[in-house]
Amino acid sequence: MIYWKIFVAFFIPGVLGYGGGPASIPLVEDQVIDHYGWMDAEKFAEVLAIGNALPGPIATKLAGYIGYQQGGILGAVVGVFATVAPSLILMIFLLGMLYRFKDSPKVKQMTNFIRPAIAVLLGVIAFQFFVESYHGAGWLQTLILTAASFFFLEKLKVHPAIVIAGALGYGAIFLAA
Amino acid sequence: MKQQRQLFFAFFRVGIFGYGGGPASIPLVHKEVVENYKWLDDRDFNDLLALANTLPGPIATKMAGYIGHRVAGVTGMINAVLATILPSIFIMVVLLSSLAAVKDKPWVQGMTDAVMPVVGVMLAVLTWSFFRRSKEGLGLWKSLMFVAGSFVLIKVLPSPAILILALLLIGLLKPVRKDNADAVGAEREESV
C-alpha cells in the first residue's frame, strides 16, 4: 500500500525533526533513499537543490514532490499531511493549555527563561545566512545587500516582500557570475 | 469570510517570499501577524515561537496552523497551512523538469545568493527584539548570562529542543521570587 508507506516515510521526519524543516532533511533522506529506495542519493540531492531555489518551507516541498512522484496527487496530499499534522495538532493543544494559565507567575517565569535561548537560536540562523551569502556572493556584495536591506526594512519600513523581490531582481542582474 | 481571505493572503505572501526554508519565513510571519493584521501582540508571538521551537516538525506550518486556528477555527487552520505550502509545492511539481535545466543558470544562482543577506537582516532584527524583551524581563546582566549559557548549550547539546524543554521545566519548578515577579509585572504593564 503505497499511501501507507508515504505516510510513514514523512510521519517519522515530522515527529522527530527538531528545529524546523531544514533539520528534518537528513531524516527524509534516510527514509526516501535507504529505507524505501524511491530515489538514489544523486537524484535526492537534485530535488533538494531545486527545492532550496524555490520559496516556501522545505520539508513540505520535499513531501509534496516525493509524495506526488510515488503516488500522484493523493500521494502528495498524504506526504504533506504526515509532515504537517502531528506536530501542528500537538502545538494547538499545548498552546491552549499555556494560554489558560498565561497570567500565572510560573508561566511568565517560563517565558522569561526561554526568551534568551530563542534569541540565540534566531541569531545562529541569521549568522548562517550571512555565511552562506559570503560564500555565494563574496563579502562586498554581502555588505551592500545587508546595508541596503537594513535601510529599506528598518528605516523606510518597506514590506519585506518588496525588499525580497528587489533582492531577487538585483541578484538576477548583478550577481549572475 | 474577510478573515479567511486575510489569512490566505498573509500566509500566501509568507510562502512565496520565504526563501531559505521555514525558519527564514519567521520574520515574514511576524510582519504579517503582529504588524500588519495585529492578530497577535509581540508577547503572544514570542510565546508561540518559543513553543513551536520545542516541538518537532516544520516551523512555518506550525506557526501558520496555530495562528489560523486562533483567528478563524479549523477552517482558518487549514486555510493558513495550505496558503503557506501549496504555491511552492505546485511550482515544484509542475516545473520540476524545466527547473532542473534552469537551476544551474547563473541568474538563478544570483537570485538565491542575493536573497540570503536580506533574510539574514530580518532574522537579526528579530533576534534583537527578542534580546530587548528578555532584558526587560530579566535585566541586562541576567539576560547576557542566559544568552551566553544558551549559546554554549545549543552548540553542545544534540538538539536545541532539549535546552528549551529544560528551561521550561526550570521555569515551572523554580519558586517565583519577589524581584522576579516585579520585573515580570513591569514588563507586562509595558506590553499592555
In B, minimum Cα distance to A66 occurs at B93
Measure B98 CA to nearest chain A CA, in Å.
10
Q: Taking a C-beta distance cutoff of 8 angstroms, is the pair B84, B64 a contact?
A: yes
In the block, cell 526561554 appears at A114
pTM, whole model, 2 decimals? Answer: 0.75
pLDDT of residue A144: 94
* Residue A146 predicted with pLDDT over 50: yes
Q: Do A113 and B143 touch (CB under 8 A)?
A: no
Higher pLDDT, A18 or A104: A104
Q: How confident is the model at residue A49 (pLDDT cuts 50, 70, 90)?
A: confident
Among B9, B119, B190, pick the best mutation site for testing chain A contact (most A Cβ within 10 A): B119
| Closest by Cβ to A146, choosing from B19, B56, B120 | B120
Chain B residues lying within 8 Å of A102, measured CB to CB: 47
pLDDT of residue B12: 93
Please write the tens of the pLDDT for every residue from B93-113: 776 667 667 767 888 888 878
pLDDT of residue A109: 84
Please write the tens of the pLDDT for every residue from B28-82: 999 999 999 999 998 889 888 888 877 777 888 889 999 999 999 999 999 999 9
* Residue A131 predicted with pLDDT over 50: yes
Identity of the highest mean pLDDT range in A18-22, A44-48, B59-63: B59-63
Residue closest to B161 by CA, chosen among A26, A118, A82, A90: A118
SS3 call for A18: strand
Chain B residues lying within 8 Å of A80, measured CB to CB: 85, 89
A 63-92 residues with CB < 8 A to B? 64-65, 68, 76, 80, 83-84, 86-88, 90-92
pLDDT of residue B43: 84
SS3 call for B56: strand
Q: Do B160 and A19 touch (CB under 8 A)?
A: yes
Q: Do A46 and B100 touch (CB under 8 A)?
A: yes
| Phi/psi at A25 (5° precision) | -60, -50
Identity of the highest mean pLDDT range in A101-115, B114-128, B135-149: B135-149
Distance CA B146, CA B175 (A): 18
| Closest by Cβ to A117, choosing from B15, B69, B150 | B150
Higher pLDDT, B84 or B180: B84
Distance CA A163, CA A147 (A): 12
- Other C-beta atoms closer than 10 Å to the C-beta of A12 total 18
Please write the tens of the pLDDT for every residue from B146-178: 999 989 988 888 767 778 778 888 888 888 865
Measure B12 CA to nearest chain A CA, in Å.
9
Please write the tens of the pLDDT for every residue from B137-146: 888 999 999 9
Q: Is A174 exposed, middle or buried (0-12, 13-18, 19+ CB in 10 A)?
A: middle
Among B92, B97, B136, B176, pick the best mutation site for testing chain A contact (most A Cβ within 10 A): B92
Mean pLDDT of A56-62: 86
